[in-house]
Structure 1
């Protein structure tokens, strides 16, 4: 399946678009590749790109002044990537986006997305629904982080995305869950779904 076919499948599942709108949307995407451990976006920079991941794994993270990092999100094949708030608001990012593996993408720029948003109500509806789904996921994750035990967070992750254990280094998964790496290792050996 071609890269744009994957993108079309995702977009049309969110919101049907008229053929002319889809064709214009499809035309704004360009291939892009990055090596492992490439910083795609740095804190303090404004996110210029929206990515559609074709291959590889990326993580968005916050870096505290004392050197600690908090992993916020992972992206991988057939998901969107980028620092969303910085992209949408065109303001400096508080987060970093890096590739954990060599990665290939389709990517587009803010001005191209914004142009479509200004011209097509169908595209506005698609963006609104996408952001609504994203916001719902963020709220669910906030509940997990604040209310769940380490084991409950681990179980929720495995239920939602069991494949990540083989894709993502465990130290980043532990950071994502907000648990100590040692506790994460213990959970790996004891928790069964």
Structure 2
């Protein structure tokens, strides 16, 4: 079965006809590493589902410091939720970190699918709720856990990303400098 259909089937059941309609409203593209799919300041008009490869969303502040918000590997969705939902310019970049095959679903086609297959609204509501829970948990971790504890939690939840993602991007995700991250990682490996 198609990976995106497997992802959907975790939450709702689509008939074969509904699956075909869903797939007809998506496009699959291959992107090279370092490709920017969305620039800060643009209105996000798509959601991306990762068939293979790795993506990240990030922001660059006024001091030209990158802040990684999220990563997305095979089987994950990624978008600038603020911009996608509000249709206002966002502040996130979405970048391909390693060559990727991405399923692209435009907001326009998503709205059509909501009309044609109402249960897809439930699916995307569940995705949005799960995203909200994950972001709240991350915010609470950033407020209450030490950098070491945040790194240990990241390693346990996303051990597959440790070898794929550059250390400076993991450091940014954790909210520490690359130098501090290097020391923290060395200390953890000595344990």
Instruction: State whether TM-score is above 0.5.
Output: yes
Whole-Å Cα distance in 1 between the matches of residues 73 and 34 of structure 2?
14
Residue number in structure 1 paired with 2:187: 190
Question: Structure 2, unaligned stretches of length 5 or more?
Answer: none
Is 1:72 matched with 2:72?
A: no
Residue number in structure 1 paired with 2:14: 17
- What is the aligned counterpart of 1:88 among 85, 89, 95? 85
Residue number in structure 1 paired with 2:5: 8
Contact 1:35/1:101 (CA < 8 Å) preserved in 2? yes
> Helix, strand or coil: the match of 2:136?
helix
Is 1:124 matched with 2:121?
A: yes
Whole-Å Cα distance in 1 between the matches of residues 45 and 86 of structure 2?
11
Q: Shift of residue 152 of structure 1?
A: 0.5
Structure 1's consecutive aligned runs of 4 or more residues displaced over 3 angstroms after TM superposition are none
What's the C-alpha RMSD, in Å, of the aligned pairs?
1.6
Between 1:118-127 and 1:44-53, the stretch displaced more is 118-127
Between 1:147-156 and 1:84-93, the stretch displaced more is 84-93
Contact 1:53/1:106 (CA < 8 Å) preserved in 2? yes
The residue correspondences of 1:15-164 to structure 2 (distance < 5 A) are 15-164=12-161
Q: Shift of residue 188 of structure 1?
A: 1.5
Q: Shift of residue 134 of structure 1?
A: 1.0
Calculate the TM-score normalised by the size of structure 2. Answer: 0.93
Whole-Å Cα distance in 1 between the matches of residues 113 and 13 of structure 2?
15
Whole-Å Cα distance in 2 between the matches of residues 100 and 120 of structure 1?
33
Q: Shift of residue 100 of structure 1?
A: 1.5
Calculate the TM-score normalised by the size of structure 1. Answer: 0.92
Between 1:98-107 and 1:165-174, the stretch displaced more is 98-107
Contact 2:48/2:79 (CA < 8 Å) preserved in 1? yes
Question: Structure 1, unaligned stretches of length 5 or more?
Answer: none
Sort the Cα spacing of 1:118 and 1:88 in 2 relative to 1 into closer, same or farther, 3 A: farther
Contact 2:49/2:77 (CA < 8 Å) preserved in 1? yes
